[in-house]
Chains A and B, each alone.
Chain A
Amino acid sequence: MSLVPSSLAALHSGAPVVHAASADGVFSLLWLVVALPALGAAVLLLGGRRTDRWGHWLGVGTVAVSFLLSLVLFFALVGRDSGDRQVSQHLWTWFTAGKYTVNLDLLYDQLSAVFLLLITGVGGIIHLYSVGYMEHDERRRRFFGYLNLFVASMLTLVLAADYVGVFLGWEGVGLASYLLIGFWQYKPSAAAAAKKAFVINRVGDIGLSLGSALIFVTFGSTSFAVVSANADKASSGTLTAIGLLLLLAACGKSAQFPLQTWLLDAMEGPTPVSALIHAATMVTAGVYLIVRSNFIFSLTEDARTGVVIVGCITLLMGAIIGCAKDDIKKALAGSTMSQIGYMILAAGLGPAGYALAIFHLLTHGFFKANMFLGAGSVMHGTNDDVNMRHYGALQKAMPVTFVTFAIGYLAIIGVPPFAGFWSKDRIIETAFADNFVVGLCALVGAGITAFYMTRLMLMTFVTEQRWEPDVHPHESPRVMTIPLIALAALSALGGFLILNGWITDWLAPVVGTHEEKSLAIGALGMSLVTLVVVAIGIAIAWTFFGRRAVPREAPTQVSVFTRAARAELYGDAFNEEVIVKPGYTGIRGLSVFDGSFVDGIAEGTASAFGGMSSWFRLAQNGFVRSYALAVLSGAALVLLALLAVNFS
C-alpha cells in the first residue's frame, strides 16, 4: 500500500488527501463485512436444492451480521480523533505489470462508513421483506443468492481503495442487477430488460476503463492515495478528461442522461430488487464515484459543469416521465432518476455540494426503499397488478402500507420535518448560490416532484375504488410490514442527520470544506419559496386526480407533452432508430462482405500461394487422406529448399 506521508499531504491545500492508517483492533474485521455476504452467495448459488429450506434465512443472516459489524466499526470510527478516521486494510496484491500494481485494499473512512450502514442496514431490511415477498417463488433460494452477491459487490465498490477495485464492485453490482432484473427470465420482457441494463452500463464502463487508464498514465497508479496526493500536479486538461470519463461511468450506473433508458425497464425485476438496487444503493454508485473522486473534480471546473448539466437534465427528465406513468413502479423509477439527478447536481457543485449529495443519497435511500417496498406490498395485495388506474381507495384495506407510504411521500416532496425536506432543500439552496438557472431547475423539479407523487398517492390510496371484484386487497404479512415501518421511521427521522451540521462535518475530512455562500433571501426564505412551489404542485395534482374521477383506462386523447412523457421522452425510440436499427443493418452488410469479399480475396490469395485451388474440388470427392500427403510434402519442401540454398 502506497502510503503518502502525512507531512507531504499537509503541503497540499485544497482537496483532502487519502492517507489511511493500517487497520488494527476491531478494524481488522473489515474484510468480514464483505466476506459474509459473499460466502452467503457462494453457498446459496453452489449449494443447489439442498439449501432450499433454510437458504433465505442464511441470506438474511449474513447481511444482518454484516450490519452489526458495520455498526461496531462505525462507532469505533466515531471514537477516534476526527483527523484519524481513515483506515485501510491490505488484502492482497491483485496484479502487477511493469511498474503498475493494483492492490485489493479496503479503505474505511467517513464516506465508506455511511455507505456500509446504508447498504447493510437498508439491505438487511429488504432481505427480511423478501422472505415474505418471495415466499411462493420456487426459486426463492436463488433470489437470496443473487441478493447476497449484490450486497457483497456493493460493499466492495464502496470499500475499494483503488479505481480498479471499484471496477470490481462496479461490475459485480451490474451482474447482480442483470441477474435480478431477469430473475423471472421466462418472461421475454424481463430477459430483454436485463440485457439492456447490462449493455448500457457497459457503455458507461468505457468511461471507467479509459478513465482508469488515463489515471494510470498520469499518476502511475490508480490508488486513491496516490491520485489524491498528486492530483494538483496534473494538467487541467487531463483532470477534465478524467472527470468527464468518470462522469460517463456515473451516467451508466446511475441512469443519468443520456444513458438513462435502462432504469424504467429494470422494473421488470421483483420489487425488493427495485427497492434495494434500483433505488437505494446501486443506482447511486455514480454519485459515490464522483464524490469519492472529489480530489479530481474539485480541481476541474469544466468537468463539474458537465456534471451539473447532466444532473439538471436528468432531474427534470425523470420528474416529467414520472408524471405520465400509470405503472406504479415505473412512476417511482422516473422519480428515482430525478432524485439521483439532484444528487449528481449537488456533486457537481463541488466542495459545497459533495456532502449534500451523500446526505440526499441517504435520505433518498430511506424514503425510496420505503415507497418501493410499499408498492410491492400494494401489488402483493392486488394480484401483482402494477397499474395505478386499477387501484384506488386502498388506504382502508392496507392501513400500514398506506401510513408508511404516506411518510415516504411527505419525505420525498420535502415537507418538514421529514427526511427529504432537509436534504433537498439544502441542495436547492446551494444550487441557487452557485447559479440561478441551476437553482431554478432544482426548484421546478421540486414542484414537479410534488405533482407526480401526489398523483401517485391519490390514484393508489385515495380516490374511488377501481379494482375488479375478484381482487381482494389485503394487508401484507408482518415480515413485510415491519420492514415498511422501519423504513418509514428512517424516512421521518433521517433528515435529522443534518442537525448541527453533523453529516457535513462528518464528511468534511473526505470531501473538503468550503466557504458558505449565503443567499439574498436567506435560507429560511428559500425554504419558504420551495414550500410554496411544492404546494402548487400538490394543488395541481389534486385538481386533476383528486377532484375528478380517475378513468380505469388511460385516456388516449392527450397532449403531445403527455405522449412524450409516456414514451419516456423518446430515449428508447432515439436509440432504436439511431443506434440499433442502423447497427443491425450494418452488421448484416458486414456479414455479406465477410462471406464474399474478405473470404474471397483471402481464399483466392491463399489458393494462389498454395497453387492448390483445384483441391477444393477434390475435397468434395472425399479424397481426404491425400492432404496429409500435402502436409508431409510441405515439410519435404523445406528440406529441399534448404538444400538448394545450401549448395548454391
Chain B
Amino acid sequence: MSNFPWLSVLIAVPIVGAVVVQALPRRANAAAPKQIAFGVSLLTLVLGLVMASGYENDGGMQFTEQHTWIKSFGAHYAVGVDGIGLTLVLLTLILTPVVLLASWNDADPIPLDVRDVAAESPHVAPARWSPNAFFAWMLAMEGLAVGVFAATDVFLFYVFFEATLIPIYFLVGGYGGAGRARAAVKFLLYSLAGGLIMLASVIGLYVVSAKSSGGATYLVSELSKIDFGTDTGRWLFVGFFIAFAIKAPMFPVHTWLPDTTENATPGTSVLLVSVLDKIGTFGMIRFCLELFPEASRWATPVVVTLAVVSVIYGALMAIGSDNIPRLIGYTSVSHFGFIVLGIFVMNSQGLSGANLYMFNHGLSTAALFLVTGFLISRRGSALISDFGGVEKVAPVLAGVFLVSGLASLSLPGLSPFVSEFLVIVGAFSHSVVAAAFAVTGIVLAAIYILLMYQRTMTGPTRPEIVGMRDLGTREIAAVAPVLLLIVIFGFFPKPLLSVINPSVDHTMSQVDRHDPAPTVAEQSPEGAHQ
C-alpha cells in the first residue's frame, strides 16, 4: 500500500465527517452527532496509527503525494511527512478524540454541568450555535491541522494555514465565556495580520523562484535548493518569522492567546494551544531554518533573546493570573519560549528537544486545560480565588490536576522533562547566558503550578465546594489516555526520538550547523565517546 494516499485520507476523513455531523438534524441533547463525530475521530486515529506503523525512521519525507495545482504559480497539491511532521500529525489525531469526549456537554444550549450553578456566570455562557456545529468545526479543524503539518508546498501550506482560522474563529466566537466575541475577533486580527505578512513572503518566494533555473515552484524540496541571496533571503525570512511568532505565540505578540484561552471552551483551547499553535514552531523549522539558513543564523541573537524573554515573561504573567485558563495560556507563552529557544540554538540537543517539546507540551497542556475545564464547569467560575479545599471532596480530580501540573513544570519521569532538559542542554552549548536565564523558568513553573494547586485544591474546603462531584467515568476516560502517554513517554521517549532525530539531522545539514565537540575531546579521543 505504498501508493495509498494516506495523508489525503487523514485530511479528508474528518472534513467529510464534519459535513455529515453538521447535516444531521439539530435536536436538543441529541447524542448522534456527538457519537458520530467521536467515531470519525477514532477512525482517523486508527488510520493514522496504521500509516505511522509503515513509517521508515530515516527515510526522509514519506507518504508523499504530488499533483500540479496551479501550474502558472508553480503551486502543487503536495503532501508528505518526515519525523517532525509525523509526530505533530499523530499529536493532532490523538488529541481530537480526547477533546471531543471531554467536551461532550460543553456545546449544549446550557451546558449540563452548570445547570445547577448560578445561571449568569461570566465564565460559562450558553452556546450560540448547535452542538452539531461545535463538533463539526472540531472535526474540520482536525483535518485542516493535518493538512498544515503535511503540506510540502508553501502555497498549499499557506492555504491550510489560513483555513484553520475559520473553525477556531467559530469555536471561540460561539462557545465559551462572556468575552468570547471580542476574543474571537482579537484572535482573528492577530492571525490575519500575521497571515498577510507571510503572504508577502509567499509572493516573494514565487518571484524569486520564477527567475531561477527551475522555473516557478512552491515545492519545499525545490525551494530549499535555491540560494535566495543575503538580502532577499532575510526579508523573506522576516515575513515568515513574524507570522510564526504570532502563531506560536512569542513575546511581544502573545496577548491574543491568554484572552482567547480565557474565553474559549477547554476543548477549543486544547486544539488551539496544543495543536494549532505548533504550526508556528513547526513553520520556524520547516520554512525559516530549512529555506533561509543564512537568514536564520543572522537572526539567531534576536530570536534567542525573544525566546528567553518569552520563557520568563510568560511564567511571571502566569504567576500573576487569577483566571485559570488565562494562567494556562501564559504558561504556554513560557513553554513556546523554550521551544523557539531549542530551535534557534541550532544544535541536535536543542532541535530534538524542541521537536519533542512540541509533542509533550501538547499532551501536558491538554491534560491541564481539560482537568481545569472539568473543575470550572462544576463551580461556574474560572477564578482561582473562588476555589479552595477541592482535594478533600474530589480527590481524583485533584490528583489528575496535580499530575497534569507536574507535567507542565517538567518533573523528571513525566514526558516534558526530557524535552525541556534537552533544550536547556542545547541552549547551554549555544550560549551559557541564554541557558542561565532560561533555566529560571523551572523555578517559576514550580511557583505558578503549585501556587495554583495550593489555592484551589488545599486548605479548608470552602462552602461552595462542599458536595462537588469527583470526576465521572467519561471525564476519566478522556484524560486518562493523555496521562498514560505522559508517563510512558517520560520513561520511554525513544519511539518519538527515533522518529524525530533523523529529521533533526536533516535540518542541521540544511542550516549547515554541526554540534560542537566536547571540550575534553581534543585530548582524549578514546574517552569521551560512546
- A residues at B contact (CB < 8 Å): 2, 4, 8, 45, 92-101, 104, 164, 167-168, 170-172, 175, 178, 182, 185-188, 190-192, 194-195, 198-199, 202-203, 205-206, 209-210, 212-214, 216-221, 226, 229-230, 233-235, 238, 584, 586-588, 590-591, 594-595, 598-599, 601-603, 605-607, 609-610, 612, 615-616, 619-620, 622, 624, 627-628, 630-632, 634-635, 637-638, 641-642, 645-646
Given A94-B418, A95-B497, A188-B459: A220 and B517 within 8 A (CB)?
A: yes
Nearest-neighbour CB distance to chain B for A583, whole angstroms, equals 8
Which residues of the partner chain A approach B520 to less than 8 Å between Cβ atoms?
Answer: 218-220, 230, 233-234
The proximity string for B residues 315-328 relative to A, scoring 1 for CB distances below 8 Å and 0 otherwise, is 01101110000000
What would 20 more interface pairs be, CB under 8 Å, given A164-B412, A210-B424? A93-B494, A94-B491, A98-B352, A104-B491, A168-B412, A168-B413, A170-B412, A172-B412, A175-B411, A185-B391, A210-B428, A233-B523, A598-B251, A598-B252, A602-B190, A602-B252, A606-B192, A627-B169, A631-B163, A645-B203
Closest A residue, CB atoms, query B72: A646
Nearest-neighbour CB distance to chain B for A110, whole angstroms, equals 24
How many angstroms between the C-alpha atoms of A4 and B527 in the bound complex? 7
Given A98-B347, A99-B348, A171-B413: A591 and B317 within 8 A (CB)?
A: yes
Closest B residue, CB atoms, query A12: B527
Q: B170: CB under 8 A from chain A? A: yes
Which residues of the partner chain A approach B196 to less than 8 Å between Cβ atoms?
Answer: 609-610, 634
A609 touches B193 (CB 8 A): yes
Given A213-B428, A645-B206: A631 and B165 within 8 A (CB)?
A: yes
Q: B526: CB under 8 A from chain A? A: yes
Nearest-neighbour CB distance to chain B for A311, whole angstroms, equals 24
Nearest-neighbour CB distance to chain B for A616, whole angstroms, equals 6
Dominant SS at the B interface? helix
Q: Which of B188, B319, B529 contacts A631 (CB 8 A)?
A: B188
- The interface stretch among B39-47, B108-116, B432-440 is B432-440
The proximity string for B residues 336-348 relative to A, scoring 1 for CB distances below 8 Å and 0 otherwise, is 0000000000011
Q: B224: CB under 8 A from chain A? A: no
- The interface stretch among B24-32, B268-276, B290-298, B444-452 is B444-452
How many angstroms between the C-alpha atoms of A609 and B195 in the bound complex? 10
Which residues of the partner chain B approach A219 to less than 8 Å between Cβ atoms?
Answer: 518-520, 528
Which residues of the partner chain B approach A628 to less than 8 Å between Cβ atoms?
Answer: 166, 169-170
A627 touches B497 (CB 8 A): no
How many angstroms between the C-alpha atoms of A426 and B197 in the bound complex? 72
Q: B199: CB under 8 A from chain A? A: yes
A188 touches B530 (CB 8 A): no
B192 touches A631 (CB 8 A): yes
How many angstroms between the C-alpha atoms of A229 and B392 in the bound complex? 52
How many angstroms between the C-alpha atoms of A631 and B493 in the bound complex? 39
Pairs across A and B, CB under 8 Å, 15 listed = A94-B418, A104-B491, A175-B406, A188-B459, A188-B460, A206-B440, A209-B439, A216-B428, A217-B516, A220-B517, A221-B518, A591-B320, A631-B188, A642-B73, A645-B207
A238 touches B185 (CB 8 A): no
B320 touches A203 (CB 8 A): no
8 Å CB interface, B206-225 against A: 206-207
How many angstroms between the C-alpha atoms of A449 and B504 in the bound complex? 58
B206 touches A209 (CB 8 A): no
Nearest-neighbour CB distance to chain A for B124, whole angstroms, equals 19
Ordered nearest first, which 6 A-B pairs have the shortest CB separation?
A98-B348, A220-B518, A191-B458, A213-B428, A97-B352, A606-B193
A185 touches B457 (CB 8 A): yes
A631 touches B73 (CB 8 A): no
Q: Which of B189, B412, B501 contacts A167 (CB 8 A)?
A: B412
Q: B235: CB under 8 A from chain A? A: no
Q: Which of A210, A588, A616, A637 contacts B185 (CB 8 A)?
A: A616
How many angstroms between the C-alpha atoms of A194 and B453 in the bound complex? 11
B421 touches A209 (CB 8 A): yes
Given A591-B317, A620-B181: A95 and B203 within 8 A (CB)?
A: no
Nearest-neighbour CB distance to chain A for B70, whole angstroms, equals 8
A198 touches B413 (CB 8 A): no
Which residues of the partner chain B approach A229 to less than 8 Å between Cβ atoms?
Answer: 527
A638 touches B190 (CB 8 A): no
Listed residue (A195, A203, A588) with the most chain B CB atoms within 10 angstroms of its CB? A195
B186 touches A603 (CB 8 A): yes
Nearest-neighbour CB distance to chain A for B173, whole angstroms, equals 5
Closest B residue, CB atoms, query A166: B412
Which residues of the partner chain A approach B169 to less than 8 Å between Cβ atoms?
Answer: 627-628, 631
Closest B residue, CB atoms, query A214: B428
B446 touches A202 (CB 8 A): yes
Given A186-B458, A230-B520, A230-B528: A590 and B349 within 8 A (CB)?
A: no
How many angstroms between the C-alpha atoms of A185 and B159 in the bound complex? 52
Which residues of the partner chain A approach B494 to less than 8 Å between Cβ atoms?
Answer: 92-93, 95-96
- B residues at A contact (CB < 8 Å): 72-73, 128, 158-159, 162-163, 165-166, 169-170, 173-174, 181-182, 184-186, 188-190, 192-193, 195-197, 199, 202-203, 206-207, 251-255, 313, 316-317, 319-321, 347-349, 352-353, 389, 391-392, 399, 406, 411-413, 417-418, 421-422, 424-429, 435-436, 439-440, 442-443, 446-447, 450-451, 453-454, 457-461, 491-494, 497, 501, 504, 515-521, 523-524, 526-530
How many angstroms between the C-alpha atoms of A525 and B164 in the bound complex? 82
A637 touches B255 (CB 8 A): no
Which residues of the partner chain B approach A610 to less than 8 Å between Cβ atoms?
Answer: 189, 192-193, 196
Which residues of the partner chain A approach B165 to less than 8 Å between Cβ atoms?
Answer: 631
Closest B residue, CB atoms, query A104: B491
A605 touches B162 (CB 8 A): no
How many angstroms between the C-alpha atoms of A192 and B422 in the bound complex? 31
Closest A residue, CB atoms, query B216: A646
Closest B residue, CB atoms, query A599: B255
Closest B residue, CB atoms, query A210: B439
How many angstroms between the C-alpha atoms of A195 and B128 in the bound complex? 41
Q: Which of A2, A205, A587 contacts B316 (CB 8 A)?
A: A587
Q: Which of B181, B412, B442, B518 contacts A624 (CB 8 A)?
A: B181
Nearest-neighbour CB distance to chain B for A134, whole angstroms, equals 17
Which residues of the partner chain A approach B251 to less than 8 Å between Cβ atoms?
Answer: 598
Given A185-B457, A191-B458: A226 and B528 within 8 A (CB)?
A: yes
B422 touches A95 (CB 8 A): yes
Closest B residue, CB atoms, query A609: B193
Nearest-neighbour CB distance to chain B for A549, whole angstroms, equals 38
B182 touches A616 (CB 8 A): yes
A100 touches B348 (CB 8 A): yes
Closest B residue, CB atoms, query A205: B442
How many angstroms between the C-alpha atoms of A9 and B506 in the bound complex? 37
Nearest-neighbour CB distance to chain A for B342, whole angstroms, equals 10
B389 touches A186 (CB 8 A): yes
How many angstroms between the C-alpha atoms of A17 and B427 in the bound complex? 29
Which residues of the partner chain A approach B195 to less than 8 Å between Cβ atoms?
Answer: 634
How many angstroms between the C-alpha atoms of A606 and B186 in the bound complex? 9
How many angstroms between the C-alpha atoms of A234 and B523 in the bound complex? 9
B451 touches A195 (CB 8 A): yes
Listed residue (A170, A171, A175, A586) with the most chain B CB atoms within 10 angstroms of its CB? A171
Q: Which of A178, A213, A603, A607 contacts B255 (CB 8 A)?
A: A603
How many angstroms between the C-alpha atoms of A71 and B442 in the bound complex? 38
Nearest-neighbour CB distance to chain B for A309, whole angstroms, equals 22
Listed residue (A92, A172, A202) with the most chain B CB atoms within 10 angstroms of its CB? A202
Given A96-B497, A175-B406, A606-B193: A635 and B457 within 8 A (CB)?
A: no
Nearest-neighbour CB distance to chain A for B444, whole angstroms, equals 9
Listed residue (A172, A590, A606) with the most chain B CB atoms within 10 angstroms of its CB? A606
A213 touches B435 (CB 8 A): yes
Given A210-B428, A594-B317, A607-B189: A186 and B461 within 8 A (CB)?
A: yes
Which residues of the partner chain A approach B197 to less than 8 Å between Cβ atoms?
Answer: 609
Which residues of the partner chain A approach B491 to less than 8 Å between Cβ atoms?
Answer: 94, 104
A631 touches B443 (CB 8 A): no
Q: Which of B163, B181, B435 contacts A210 (CB 8 A)?
A: B435
Given A229-B527, A590-B320: A100 and B425 within 8 A (CB)?
A: yes
